[in-house]
Amino acid sequence: MRSPQEPSAPAKGSVQEEAQVIVVGAGPAGSTAALYLARAGVDVLLLEKGGFPREKVCGDGLTPHAVYQLVKMGVDIDAPGWCRSRGMRWVCEGRQVHIDWPSVGRYPDFGLTRTRHDFDDILARNAAAAGARLRTLVKVAEPLTDRAGRITGVRAESGPDREPVEYRAPLVIAADGASARTALAMGLQRDASRPIATAARRYYRSAELSKDPYLELWADLRCSRTGRDLPGYGWIFPLGDGRVNVGLGALPHTRHGSVDLKATLDLWLSHLPGHLGLDESNADSPLRSAALPMGLNRRPQYSRGLMLVGDSAGMVSPWSGEGIAQAMEAAEVAAETVALALARPAGTRREQALRSYPTEIEQRWGRYYRAGNTAARLILGKYGYRPLLHRRIMGNAALVNTLARLLIEPGKKPSRDTTEALLHTLVRLVPGTRR
């Protein structure tokens, strides 16, 4: 990796495009940022290494927080292909608890599912329709920098022949996902004390489960190797098209190391009733896995012309593993910050405006992520989600409501008292938890 202080040498024979802002990656974070920038009249280039539609390993579940972001962007969620959910059904030790999505503020009271195959394509097309210049099959290789180490663009390979290309802009938004290559190349390292989960998913055909109005989550799964509680949960998410997305995610077990996701998934599915049909004969895809960078694990989220959004900044919720809504909301904040900064003259005052992005992130979500990181370290990484379903929590309406909010809406913080009451109750319950 080149040192950030070392200016980049020009690439031979490269084509050049210029813009006010470059966005690297057209996942939920990148397409959302590009859409809002274009709407604000900013000339924005959106660079994506893949071609749409394309696969992305995900649970495909969207909470009301994500639906809110979609509606704000003007995405037509009444068009065919969207599947609505009423809430979550948690399964634990033979018991089932239904938690309907709470009706909070301006949030809708329903969630959605949609495969990322379609979902990312829709968002990217919306960004392009808003005026963003979308370039697919463009793989960003490294940032271009000036003598001061400030980003001035990116060097990339374009098309099937991997033609060298340079794109120039005084501001770059890194939305390149968990690999965070752009941030790393600019010297922004991950905070290793923040949790990173891994998760795997597979599609199955099931006409019956596909129409379930609830997202189903399993809290009492066992690790295949140790027989201990899975430090995570399993899910069965209906897609409404005759298929379900089945998967599980786990933190590295704080005492027993990493989890064999495939073997643990196989073990879980082998115990499910045969009539559900979640077996090899109904599998509709291979099992695929990926990392979930959590807890705001990369800082600062703005430095030397580079802004980080979504997984590249580790914005996945340590409470739930949800990352799409967080990526989209942060992208909206980033776009607004950039548009306002560009209205100022270049120099110190513009730089001040850009530096307000990490401050805004901290104000909105700092406490939520800190409490989640604590919960991941003390509880979820040891005992998984079983303590969350303890009868003393489930029997307390205020705590259930807090739990539902923590799982869906970091932006609207529950009061300090109820969050701390939930954490306190969890910590007290843990010693009695089966291990």
Ligand X SMILES: Cc1cc2nc3c(=O)[nH]c(=O)nc-3n(C[C@H](O)[C@H](O)[C@H](O)COP(=O)(O)OP(=O)(O)OC[C@H]3O[C@@H](n4cnc5c(N)ncnc54)[C@H](O)[C@@H]3O)c2cc1C
Q: Report the alpha-carbon angle 115-117-120, nearest 5.
A: 95
Q: Give me the least distance between CB of 175 and ligand X, in Å please.
A: 5
Distance of CA 193 to the CA centre of its chain: 19
- Selected from 232, 238, 240, 323, the binder of ligand X by CB under 6 A is 323
Q: Indicate the residue type of 133.
A: R
Instruction: Tell me the two tokens of residue 365.
Output: 């979500």
Instruction: Tell me the two tokens of residue 250.
Output: 């786990």
Q: Give me the least distance between CB of 346 and ligand X, in Å please.
A: 27
Alpha carbon distance 100, 181 (integer Å): 38
Provide the mask over 253-292, with x wherever binding to ligand X is found by CB under 6 A and - wherever it is not. -------------------------------------x-x
- Selected from 56, 84, 190, 225, the binder of ligand X by CB under 6 A is 56
Residue 91 binds ligand X, judged by CB under 6 A: no
DSSP code of 200? Answer: E
- Which residue shows structure tokens 């399964």? 91
Q: Tell me which residues in 191-220 interact with ligand X (CB under 6 A).
A: 199-201
Q: Give me the least distance between CB of 38 and ligand X, in Å please.
A: 17
Residue 250 binds ligand X, judged by CB under 6 A: no
Point out the residue whose Cβ comes nearest to ligand X: 323
Provide the mask over 146-175, with x wherever binding to ligand X is found by CB under 6 A and - wherever it is not. -----------------------------x
Considering only 81-89, 310-318, 371-379, 423-431, which stretch makes contact with ligand X by CB under 6 A? 310-318
On whether the CB atoms of residues 175 and 29 are closer than 8 A, the answer is yes
Alpha carbon distance 117, 179 (integer Å): 19
Provide the mask over 113-152, with x wherever binding to ligand X is found by CB under 6 A and - wherever it is not. --------------------------xx------------
Name the CA dihedral angle for 76, 82, 83, 86, rounded to a multiple of 10 degrees: -20
Q: Give me the least distance between CB of 159 and ligand X, in Å please.
A: 13
Residue 176 binds ligand X, judged by CB under 6 A: yes
Q: List the beta strands (DSSP E) in 74-150.
A: 83-85, 87-92, 95-100, 111-113, 133-135, 138-145
Residue 25 binds ligand X, judged by CB under 6 A: yes
Alpha carbon distance 402, 419 (integer Å): 7
3-state per-residue secondary structure call for 255-272: CCECCCHHHHHHHHHHCC
Q: Tell me which residues in 386-415 interact with ligand X (CB under 6 A).
A: none
Alpha carbon distance 176, 181 (integer Å): 7
Residue 324 binds ligand X, judged by CB under 6 A: yes
Q: Which residues bind ligand X (CB under 6 A)?
A: 24-30, 47-50, 56-61, 139-140, 175-179, 181, 199-201, 247, 290, 292, 310-311, 316, 322-325, 327
